[in-house]
Structures are given as C-alpha cells and as structure tokens.
C-alpha cells in the first residue's frame, strides 16, 4: 500500500488510479463493419484522397465557368450540350469552349470542366421531353470556377490523420473508414472484467432466498455497466465472507482477466477483509480506501500489477454509482481512451430541497418529467440499499463538494443514465 | 399515397410516421441477465416484497427502541447482549426487555426488535477484544422505532408495478428484476432492418473504385445507428439505378424484415424512382416526400403495411442525420417504446456565426473543446457529401425552425452523438 489516504475527493481518487493504469491492452484486427464501440489502437491515416475524382453536387451541366460569365435571364449564355457522364463512369469527354456536358449529383465531371450549372438555371432551346445530345441550352445565371463541384481531397486528403489512437468508433467513423477502403481496423482487445460478489447472505438470483438471504444484484448491474463501456463481464461467482475463500477466488479470477471487481459487503469487517485480500494479490495493492462521496464512501480502489481491482460497497446503489465513477473509466483506460466519453446532461428545475454536507460530493437519483413549466427533476430519496431508487430514476443530480445542498426551484444538471 | 405534403417540419413528419406505426413486434422470452438494451413487452410486477425480511442498515445491536430512550454519554442505557444474528441466517432469537442482539449491515433483525443501535454509539462494559455473548453494553445515544432498519417492502412492495411495457432495460433494471428472482423477461423481438444502397456509382468497400465510382458509406452508418437503437441491420446489397431491379430488391428485402431503408441516391430522377418503388410495395406507401431540414430535405418517409420504409438522401451526412431523425425513432416504436430515449445535450459557447433560413431546422456538426472559458462549440462546416464533417464532430447544433441563425458567443445546445 504505497499511498494511503483515508478519504479523497472523487476526481483526485480517479487521478490516483489513472496514474497506476499506464498499460493499454494488446491490439487485435477486426472487420471495420463490426467495430462499432471498439477503440482504435493506432492513428489511422487516409490511404488516398476522398473524393478521388471531382464530383458534381447537383444535377446539371459541367461547363467552363468563363462561358457563363455575364449570363442572366434577359441575356442568357448559349452552350452546346455534347454528351453525358453516366453515374459511376469516368468522364472521358473533352470540353471545347462553348460546350457543356450533362452530369448527375455525385457523378464525375470532365477534366476540362471547372464548374456545374444546376439544371434549374438552364433552359433547353428546342423543348422536347428527352432531348439527346447534341442540343443547345441557355444558361440563365453565371457560375464561378469550382461552383457545385467537390474537389479531389475536399473530404479528406491522402495521408491525413483521420482518427487518433484511443478513439471510440461511432457509426460515422465506420462509414469514413469504409469510404477509404479500410475494411479492417486495429482495435484494443476488449477488457475482460471479473466480477465477484461476496457475502454469506448472497445467493444466485435463480434460487429462493431463505430468511436472512438476498439475491445477488451487484454482479448484474456491474456487468451491465461493463458491457456499456466496451468490456466483457466474467461473472466469477458468489464467495462467502471468509478470507481464504475470497483470496483464492480473487487470485483465480484475476489470473485470466484484465480487471477485478469485488462487491465487498457493507459491514466493516468484510471491508477490512477486502482491503487485505487486494494487498495480498500483489503490488501496488490498495491505493485508497474511501472516497468523499455519498453514496459510496467506503469504496476501495486498488491496482495489482497493471490491473485495476475495485472493492465496491455492498449496497446496490452505492455499488453502481461507484462502479460508474471508477470501474467504467478504468475499462476505457485499459482500452487506451484518454478523454472519457462525454456524458449526457440535461438541465431541469428541482422540485424539492436536497440537503448535503460540504466537502462531499452527493449523488441523488432523480426522475425527470416534461411539464408545461419545462423539465422537472424530482429526487428519488431512499437508502442506498434500495435498488429501486435507481430503477425509478432517469439520472443523477450531483451536489458539488463545496455546496451545502440544493434548493427547490433551482436549475440543476441531471446526468443521464445510459 | 393517402397523404402527400411537399415539405413538413420534422416533428410533424415524425408524428405522421408514428400514426401509421401502430403495431409492435411480437414478444419473446430472454434471460434477464442478457436483456440489456431490450424493451419490455408487458408490465412487470413484483412477485414478492423487497426486502422480504427486516434488515439492519448498520453494524450494531438490534434492540427495543424504548430501552434506549433518554440514553446519553453521561447517562447511558445498559443492555445485555444475548446473541448474534449471523449474515445470511434467520434471526431466531427472541428479545426480552433490556436485551440486545449483534447484527451486521444487511443482516436480518429479530422479530421482537424494532431498531438498531450502531456499534459507534455503544461501549462494551468489560472491554475485551472479542467478547462473546452474554456481555453488557452501554448505549450512548437513543434510537427511534424503525431507526437503521429496512422495513419489509421498503424497496418494492409485492404486486407493485416495477417496470412498464415499452421500457428499455438498463443495468439497474436487470439488478432490480434479478433481486426479485425474475430470471427471464418478456421483451419485444429486435427489429430486423433491411438496408439497401442504390446507385450505379456505388461499390462495396472492399473493392477498388474506378474513376466515377465511390464506396458504399450509408449502409454502414445506418447499420451502426440501427444497432445502437436495438435493431438488427441486414445489409441487403447495392442496387443499380434501375426501377425493376430496385423494386425487386426492395420487395425481397422487406419480405423477411420489419423495416426497409434505401439510401436513395441524390439525383432527382433516382429520388422519384424511390418514391414510385415505395408506392408499388403496398399501402399506404409514401407518406411524405421532403422534410423542412438542412441537411436532408429530400427524405422520403413511407409505410408498407405496418413496416416503416425510408428513402434517405444519398449524401452521407444527410443520410445519417435523417436516419437518426426518422429511422431510429421507428426502430424504438417497433419495439413499443413510447417515449423516445432522452438524448444527451451539452451547452457550449458558439465560436462562429451560423446562418440559417427561417422555416427550416438546420443541423450543423460541431466539435467541442474544453477551454479556460468553458466548453466551446466550433461548427464543422462542409457540404453534406463529406462524411468527415461528421467524423470530425462531437455532436450537432440545431438551429430551430423559427430562427434565422446563431451568433458567435451565444450559448448553444449541442446534441451529442452516441
């Protein structure tokens, strides 16, 4: 235990954890089309420019812009249409002065053209429904050089950095990569997260509890948050409150995973046992025991080698909020994500006072409702043992460290659940 | 084509679509532990109360509260500790007046006790490290009836509605269901969404484009958004700009899926062809052709039977923004979701003027940056043909229908990409 602080503010606690999470997991190659939510392992550059040829942005005529200068409704320019560039075909036609070529939106324009006149700005002199070139048109409005033309590389230039390492791939990123023919992409392997529940009272959800027993909740809320962050949850069982059993289970669970989470029970003796187990697992061990938040103060944050190890409070609300605060960022860090994904926030008017203590960050579950007066946030009060306070909430209201509470009627920021 | 409007505001367009999407897909039963992101098919009720027995929220002593009344540091109450309730075991002990029982956080308390005194408020009279009952303690502070006790049903009462139908399951919901032993849950089948790309110029991403050809982008951005909304994308190929080929492909793709999306090309003739194809597929057919937005005005929204059918503009930026506007809500509707998931928003200061036209909703990709002056939003300007305007953005700024633009320095709402 190289550094031990009794209670740290959450931001400092997370920084302390991050200082010990220096290693990123190994990379693997996957199909780009299946890489949604995965994290890039390297900087990706453009193998060629996009577009690779000059494209029209309108249905109309490719022209020499100079041939249209001065054109107007009353004094149109006269051009001869000499052909058409079909979609998906090269524009082989060479344009002579005074000539125009039919082009379609997205189609290639001839090398000798430098602008496109939209069809709406033209008039066919001999009106037939489908004239065949050659025929003559009047240009009713001038175009400038480059007008209605996408230039080579206007989307992205060859060799440009298109995505940095540590980037979480979104739908548009997949589209951007595939547009360049990047059909495979190097991403970081998904972190495998071992989840242990501890407690003599805890039984699997498919069993019927006897008096004094409760079903495991935390394994499943932690597994859900793990999946949302791109990790693979490995449910590693329910362990009784026994040092040797927990130490053995933790060691085995950590051996073939990248991170370990123990839902550590809420009694002081069980928490102390978890601290000792983490220290036994290897260096540096427990980094801190206690975070200045409510709920969740007795959270244990540790690292074994380069693997994060967390001891969560047994209360389901505390466990979930603390895992979101430390476990989720750790999963992103293991994938090389440097800037954590921005969380969705909404502003809403608070319907009731919230008391808090200065020097502590409070998180209060809140339900949102759309009303004539705008969005309202109603705190869902309840002890941190009550999972349904989270089920009945849409997000969390944060009361900052230095505030003594929030007043009814105040506008507050509600951090949305994913 | 029962209703035809040239250009509708997006909200009205979506309402028109929703009026025709009355059918919810069939339900199926899945394991609760694997149901993250799935949508409940029925109202779920609690099979029993939670907790099912009275639990202590502290490490301490279960007592008769009346035995502690008036107790203080200077005048402690004296109680005899007669036993312990081990974690996970029933509390069989019957408490006589003047007696106390050791209980642990989360443990059951005896039927005859009505409060718990935290261990910190007590003092053992004969100090030994681990006294064995019977021994005597001093109570230094009184507790009220019910204090530090979770009552039966305090989390949720038997037969209470715990989740409505049409609810997207989150990590805490899985925990809440499993806490009640609900190991399987009825959810709506995931919508299968057929995705067709059309265009003589479009080739698969693994091929090398000849001059005039471009790789398919829209199939993959649409597939990504489909996955994020809980749908299953079915990539149904690239179809040339030919009415019969498109009609045949669309009919076949729609036959064994729940929704059809055609990335419809951007030239006027191809759009007209898409409208005709949708009308051929069945009633009611095209509902509207044109939405008052930029980008994305020429979007085609239709319904065949009860299946949504969309014709997206060919430009990748328009296609993605329009699919997010109509396709994503349609996927949720097919799953019976009534209230669309709230999107994450952030407020940021705009760095540049944005021009717009009144009577049209504009969406401008924007990049966010954290600075000393707070969060800044920089518009990523570029034609809607340029996928990298979305790759380089963190979200979209919306310019409302009735605004003529936004000014540099204004605070604007940025809608985050997922």
High-pLDDT (> 70) share of chain B, % = 98
Phi, psi at A76, each rounded to 5° = -70, 155
Task: Judge if pTM exceeds 0.90.
Answer: yes
Do B20 and B138 reside in the same domain of the chain?
no
Whole-number Å distance between alpha carbons of B259 and A361: 46
Answer whether residue B139 shows pLDDT above 50: yes
Do A356 and A326 reside in the same domain of the chain?
no
Give the chain B residue nearest A88 (alpha carbons). Answer: B201
The predicted-structure confidence for B323-332, as pLDDT tens digits, reads as follows 999 999 999 9
B111 at interface of A, judged by CB pairs closer than 8 A? no
| Residues 320-349 (B) with a CB less than 8 A from some CB of A | 320, 342-347
Over range A227-240, report the average pLDDT: 97
Task: Read off the pLDDT band of B293 (50, 70, 90).
Answer: confident
Task: Read off the pLDDT band of B1 (50, 70, 90).
Answer: very low
Identify the pLDDT of residue B191: 98
CATH code of the domain covering residue A102? 2.170.190.11
Answer whether residue A4 shows pLDDT above 60: no
Do B380 and B392 reside in the same domain of the chain?
yes
Q: How many CB atoms lie within 10 A of CB A112?
A: 15
Last residue of a domain, one of B100, B135, B150: B150
**Domain containing residue A170:** 28-50+155-188
Identify the pLDDT of residue B5: 45
Domain membership flag for residue A1? no
**Partner-chain contact A268 B162, CB within 8 Å:** no
Answer whether residue A264 shows pLDDT above 90: no
Q: Where are the beta strands (DSSP E) in B15-59?
A: 27-31, 44-45, 55-56
ipTM of the complex: 0.94
Tell me the pLDDT of chain A averaged across its residues: 93
Over range A5-18, report the average pLDDT: 85
Identify the pLDDT of residue A268: 77
Identify the pLDDT of residue B78: 96
CATH code of the domain covering residue A285? 3.40.980.10
High-pLDDT (> 70) share of chain A, % = 98
Task: Read off the pLDDT band of A127 (50, 70, 90).
Answer: low
State the DSSP H helix or E strand holding residue A138, giving kind and residue range, or none if neither: strand A135-139
**Counting one residue from A and one from B, how many pairs have CB atoms under 8 Å apart?**
295
Task: Tell me if B91 sits within 8 A of B51, measured CB to CB.
Answer: no
| Residues 33-52 (B) with a CB less than 8 A from some CB of A | 33, 36, 50-52
A105 at interface of B, judged by CB pairs closer than 8 A? yes
Answer whether residue B287 shows pLDDT above 50: yes
Whole-number Å distance between alpha carbons of B63 and B102: 9
Domain membership flag for residue A123? yes
Do A199 and A315 reside in the same domain of the chain?
yes
Task: Read off the pLDDT band of B271 (50, 70, 90).
Answer: confident
**Partner-chain contact B175 A320, CB within 8 Å:** yes
- Both structure tokens of A273: 């046992």
The predicted-structure confidence for A366-414, as pLDDT tens digits, reads as follows 999 999 989 999 999 988 789 999 999 999 998 988 888 899 999 998 9
What residues contact residue A383 under an 8 Å CB cut-off, 6+ apart?
Answer: A315, A317, A389, B57, B150, B154
The predicted-structure confidence for A129-150, as pLDDT tens digits, reads as follows 678 889 999 999 999 999 999 9
| Residues 278-307 (A) with a CB less than 8 A from some CB of B | none
In whole angstroms, how large is the CA radius of gyration of chain B? 31
- Both structure tokens of B8: 């509708």
| Chosen from B101, B122, B179 to mutate, greatest number of chain A CBs within 10 A | B179
Whole-number Å distance between alpha carbons of A216 and A68: 76
Do B107 and B180 reside in the same domain of the chain?
no
Domain membership flag for residue B271? yes
The predicted-structure confidence for A290-328, as pLDDT tens digits, reads as follows 888 888 788 999 999 999 999 999 999 999 999 999 999
Give the chain B residue nearest A206 (alpha carbons). Answer: B181
Answer whether residue A38 shows pLDDT above 70: yes
Answer whether residue B259 shows pLDDT above 70: yes
Give the chain A residue nearest B390 (alpha carbons). Answer: A172
Domain membership flag for residue A5? no
Helix (H, G, I), strand (E, B) or coil at B358: coil
Domain membership flag for residue A120? yes
**Partner-chain contact A223 B107, CB within 8 Å:** no
Q: Where are the beta strands (DSSP E) in B133-283?
A: 135-139, 149-150, 161-163, 184-188, 192-198, 202-203, 214-215, 232-239, 259-263
Whole-number Å distance between alpha carbons of A4 and A11: 16
Residue A104 Cα distances to A89, A119, B312, B385, angstroms: 11, 10, 17, 14
Task: Tell me if B188 sits within 8 A of B39, measured CB to CB.
Answer: yes
Identify the pLDDT of residue A322: 94
A172 at interface of B, judged by CB pairs closer than 8 A? yes
Min Cα–Cα distance to chain B from A345, Å: 5
Tell me the pLDDT of chain B averaged across its residues: 93
Do A249 and A397 reside in the same domain of the chain?
no
Helix (H, G, I), strand (E, B) or coil at A223: helix
**Partner-chain contact B106 A201, CB within 8 Å:** yes
Whole-number Å distance between alpha carbons of B47 and B143: 33
Task: Read off the pLDDT band of B2 (50, 70, 90).
Answer: very low
Last residue of a domain, one of A334, A361, A390: A334
| Chosen from B88, B154, B245, B347 to mutate, greatest number of chain A CBs within 10 A | B88
Identify the pLDDT of residue A415: 92
A67 at interface of B, judged by CB pairs closer than 8 A? no
Domain membership flag for residue B4? no
Domain membership flag for residue A280? yes
Chain A residues in contact with B36 (beta carbon < 8 A): 224, 227-228
B248 at interface of A, judged by CB pairs closer than 8 A? no
Q: CA neighbours within 13 Å on the CB side: how many for B77?
A: 22
Over range A267-278, report the average pLDDT: 87
Task: Read off the pLDDT band of B128 (50, 70, 90).
Answer: low
**Partner-chain contact B394 A342, CB within 8 Å:** yes
Do A206 and A302 reside in the same domain of the chain?
yes
Identify the pLDDT of residue B8: 85
Identify the pLDDT of residue A371: 93
Over range A26-45, report the average pLDDT: 98
Whole-number Å distance between alpha carbons of B409 and A353: 33
- Both structure tokens of B374: 């707070």
Identify the pLDDT of residue A3: 39
In whole angstroms, how large is the CA radius of gyration of chain A? 31
Give the chain A residue nearest B314 (alpha carbons). Answer: A106
Last residue of a domain, one of B150, B177, B211: B150
Task: Read off the pLDDT band of B306 (50, 70, 90).
Answer: very high
Domain membership flag for residue B64? yes
Across B66-75, B302-311, B357-366, least confident range: B357-366
């Amino acid at each position: 235990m190289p550094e031990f602080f009794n209670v740290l503010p959450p931001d400092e606690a997370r920084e302390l954890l991050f200082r010990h999470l220096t290693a990123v997991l190994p990379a693997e190659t996957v199909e780009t089309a299946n890489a949604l939510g995965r994290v890039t392992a390297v900087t990706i550059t453009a193998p060629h420019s996009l577009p690779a040829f000059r494209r029209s942005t309108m249905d109309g005529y490719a022209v020499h812009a100079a041939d249209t200068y001065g054109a107007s409704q009353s004094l149109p320019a006269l051009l001869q249409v000499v052909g058409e560039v079909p979609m998906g075909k090269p524009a082989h036609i060479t344009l002579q002065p005074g000539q125009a070529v039919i082009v379609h939106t997205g189609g290639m324009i001839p090398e000798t053209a430098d602008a496109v006149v939209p069809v709406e700005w033209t008039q066919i002199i001999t009106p037939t429904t489908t004239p065949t070139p050659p025929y003559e048109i009047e240009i009713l409005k001038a175009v400038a050089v480059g007008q209605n033309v996408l230039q080579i590389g206007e989307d992205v230039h060859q060799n440009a950095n298109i995505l940095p390492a540590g980037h979480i791939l979104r739908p548009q990123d997949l589209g951007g990569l595939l547009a360049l023919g990047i059909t495979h992409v190097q991403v970081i392997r998904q972190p495998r997260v071992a989840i242990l529940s501890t407690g003599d009272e805890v039984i699997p959800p498919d069993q019927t509890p006897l008096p004094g027993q409760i079903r495991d909740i935390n394994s499943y809320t932690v597994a859900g948050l793990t999946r949302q962050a791109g990790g693979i949850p490995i449910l590693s069982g329910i362990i009784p409150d026994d040092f040797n059993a927990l130490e053995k289970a933790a060691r085995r669970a950590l051996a073939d995973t990248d991170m370990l989470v123990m839902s550590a029970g809420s009694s002081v003796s069980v928490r102390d046992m978890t601290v000792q187990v983490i220290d036994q697992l290897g260096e540096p061990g427990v980094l801190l025991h206690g975070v200045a938040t409510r709920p969740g103060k007795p959270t244990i944050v540790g690292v074994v080698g380069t693997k994060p190890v967390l001891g969560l409070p047994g209360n389901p609300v505390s466990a979930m909020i603390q895992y979101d605060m430390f476990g989720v960022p750790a999963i992103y860090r293991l994938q090389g994500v440097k800037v954590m994904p921005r969380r969705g926030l909404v502003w809403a008017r608070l319907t009731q006072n919230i008391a808090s203590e200065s020097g502590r960050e409070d998180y209060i579950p809140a339900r949102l409702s759309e009303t004539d007066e705008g969005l309202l946030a109603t705190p869902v009060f309840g002890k941190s043992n009550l999972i349904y306070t989270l089920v009945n909430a849409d997000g969390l209201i944060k009361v900052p460290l230095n505030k003594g509470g929030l007043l009814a009627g105040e506008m507050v920021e509600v951090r949305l659940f994913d």
